[in-house]
């Protein structure tokens, strides 16, 4: 008999939906990746570094040139100074960074507060390490965090709070007021905050990203995670990074080194050079806001309702005026009958809470978005 450490965890919803979409030849707006390429110049830099011979192991912590560029970018963007030698680690995507950060600090019986709907990797990693996820539901319809409710959940066993802004799947963002309440809540405690900021540059309608790096007094409690895959339309490259104080970073690296040890070398060289092209990430918000507006403009007039996403490249569409089916059943029916794939938002809740919302990725070509909208208008 095989003993499972995660007996109640099944295959990820993203894998399940994509396999179903492939089987039924459905248009896939389920998985969160663009259907267009990374910048051509960046691809050329990767090739250049491969041919140059930069193909062997990088340092465990990551290439120093890349860490230095990240330090400069972070200070320029948010005002926080990080030592590239002792406070920045290059990771195999954000998911590895999340795994290593949680594994470094969560022990048997520790509690970790996560806000639902939540990215599906948080809770399993907490459980693998013997911790207990404490689920706090955000408030509909705007997926707002009730910080007074959070305060009631905090106790002597609370070891970490995980935040995600811009938020997957809802597309909401944390406000300055919310971040200040978090700041007040953990001041004077030993609680760490893991901030998943992979969509940091995808913020719309003139809003700003409230990074944990804007709060110097929290540096000794903060773990910030980001991703070049999201920034450069290259999710398959799995290149991310982790920012934390020296004492926190030291513990995270203990896990990181025995997890992946080091990360794709030619990509690190290429991104280190390409980060000087600031316009590529500074223009992302406008680019994806246009994509969002295009998609919503095309969907308008259908029987789906929506609130425009504030960030990320995801948009929720509500189908309560179409069907009273469970969102998972409705999602499956859209794939099989209408050839359009999305993610049911109940998959982001531990109790499968169903708000009749589906998550669609709009990081797609205009042609793909038009095809998707045509299908959505035909759903009655």
pLDDT (0 to 100) of residue 380: 80
Instruction: Report yes or no: 306 and 318 within 8 Å, Cβ to Cβ.
Output: yes
Q: Are 354 and 230 in a shared domain?
A: no
Q: What is the pTM (predicted TM-score) of this model?
A: 0.96
Other C-beta atoms lying within 10 Å of the C-beta of residue 264: 18
Same domain, 226 and 361: no
Residues 6+ apart with CB under 8 A from 160: 102, 105, 106, 110, 112, 113, 191, 192, 193, 194
Q: Is residue 321 part of a domain?
A: yes
Verify that 52 and 148 share a domain, yes or no. Answer: yes
pLDDT digits (tens, 9 = 90+) for 68-89: 999 999 999 999 999 999 999 9
Give every residue of the chain whose pLDDT is below 70, as ranges: none
Whether 2 maps to a domain, the answer reads no
Q: What is the pLDDT of residue 281?
A: 94
At 240, which CATH number?
3.40.640.10
Query: Helices 93-105 and 246-259: crossing angle, nearest 10°?
Result: 110
82 and 148 inside one domain: yes
One-letter-per-residue 3-state SS of the chain:
CCCCCCCCCCCCHHHHHHHHHHHCCCEECCCCCCCCCCCHHHHHHHHHHHHHCCCCCCCCCCCHHHHHHHHHHHHHHHCCCCCCCCCEEEECHHHHHHHHHHHHHCCCCCEEEEEECCCCCHHHHHHHCCCEEEEEECECCCCECCHHHHHHHCCCCEEEEEEECCCCCCCCCCCHHHHHHHHHHHCCCCCEEEEECCCCCCECCCCCCCCHHHCHHHCCCEEEEEEHHHHCCCHHHCCEEEEECHHHHHHHHHHHHHHCCCCCHHHHHHHHHHCCCCHHHHCHHHHHHHHHHHHHHHHCCCCCECCCCCECCEEEEECCCCCCCCHHHHHHHHHHHHCEECEEHHHHCCCCCCCCEEEEECCCCHHHHHHHHHHHHCCC
pLDDT at site 11: 85
Paired tokens of 204: 């719309």
Side by side, the strands of the sheet bearing 158-164 are 88-91, 240-244, 222-227, 192-196, 158-164, 111-116, 132-137
Are 265 and 126 in the same domain? yes
Buried b / exposed e over 163-185, threshold 16 CB at 10 Å, is bbbbbbbbbbbbbeebbebbbeb
- Residue 362 is assigned to a structural domain of this protein: yes
CB 253 within 8 A of CB 89: yes
Asked whether residue 132 is domain-assigned, the answer is yes
Last residue of a domain, which of 233, 249, 277? 277
Question: Into how many domains does the chain fold?
Answer: 2
Domain end (from 259, 277, 295): 277
Does residue 75 sit in the same domain as residue 151? yes
Q: 271 is in which domain, residue-wise?
A: 40-277
Same domain? For 126 and 228 the reply is yes
Cα–Cα dist 17/11, whole Å: 10
Q: Is 233 left (phi over 0), alpha (psi -120 to 50) or beta?
A: left
Domain end position, chosen among 251, 277, 303? 277
pLDDT tens-digit series, residues 121-166: 999 999 999 999 999 999 999 999 999 999 999 999 999 999 999 9
Residue-level pLDDT at 1: 74
Residues 334 and 263 occupy one common structural domain:
no
- According to the model, what pLDDT value does residue 275 have? 97
Claim to verify: residue 300 and residue 371 sit in the same structural domain: yes
User: Quick check: is 168 in a domain?
Assistant: yes
């Amino acid at each position: 008999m095989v003993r499972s450490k995660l007996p109640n965890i099944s295959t990820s919803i993203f894998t399940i939906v994509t396999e179903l979409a492939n089987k039924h030849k459905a248009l896939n707006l389920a998985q969160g990746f663009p259907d267009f390429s990374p910048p051509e110049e960046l691809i050329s830099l990767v090739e250049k570094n491969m041919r140059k011979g930069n193909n062997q192991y990088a340092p465990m912590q990551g290439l120093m040139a890349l860490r230095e560029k990240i330090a400069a970018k972070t200070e320029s963007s948010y005002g926080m100074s990080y030592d590239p030698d002792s406070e920045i680690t290059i990771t195999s995507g954000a998911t590895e960074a999340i795994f290593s950060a949680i594994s470094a600090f969560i022990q048997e019986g520790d509690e970790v507060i996560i806000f639902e709907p939540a990215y599906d990797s948080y809770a399993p990693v907490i459980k693998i390490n013997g911790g207990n996820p404490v689920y706090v539901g955000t408030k509909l319809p705007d997926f707002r965090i009730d910080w007074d409710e959070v305060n009631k959940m905090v106790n002597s066993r609370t070891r970490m709070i995980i935040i995600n802004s811009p938020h997957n799947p809802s597309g909401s963002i944390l406000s300055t007021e919310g971040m200040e309440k978090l700041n007040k809540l953990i001041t004077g405690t030993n609680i760490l905050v893991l901030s998943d900021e992979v969509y940091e540059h995808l913020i719309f309608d003139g809003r700003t990203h409230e990074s944990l790096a804007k709060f110097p007094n929290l540096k000794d409690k903060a773990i910030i995670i980001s991703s070049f895959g999201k920034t450069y339309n290259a999710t398959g490259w799995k290149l991310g990074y982790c920012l934390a104080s020296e004492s926190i970073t030291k513990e995270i690296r203990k896990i990181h080194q025995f997890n992946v040890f080091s990360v794709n070398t030619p990509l690190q060289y290429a991104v280190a050079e390409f980060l000087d092209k600031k316009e590529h990430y500074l223009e992302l918000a406008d680019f994806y806001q246009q994509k969002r507006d295009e998609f919503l403009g095309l969907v308008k007039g259908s029987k789906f309702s929506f609130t425009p996403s504030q960030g990320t490249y995801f948009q929720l569409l509500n189908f309560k005026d179409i069907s009273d089916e469970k969102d998972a059943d409705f999602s499956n029916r859209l794939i099989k009958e209408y050839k359009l794939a999305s993610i049911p938002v109940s998959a982001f809740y531990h109790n499968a809470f169903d708000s009749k919302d589906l998550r669609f990725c709009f990081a797609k070509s205009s042609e793909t978005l038009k095809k998707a909208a045509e299908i959505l208008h035909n759903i009655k």
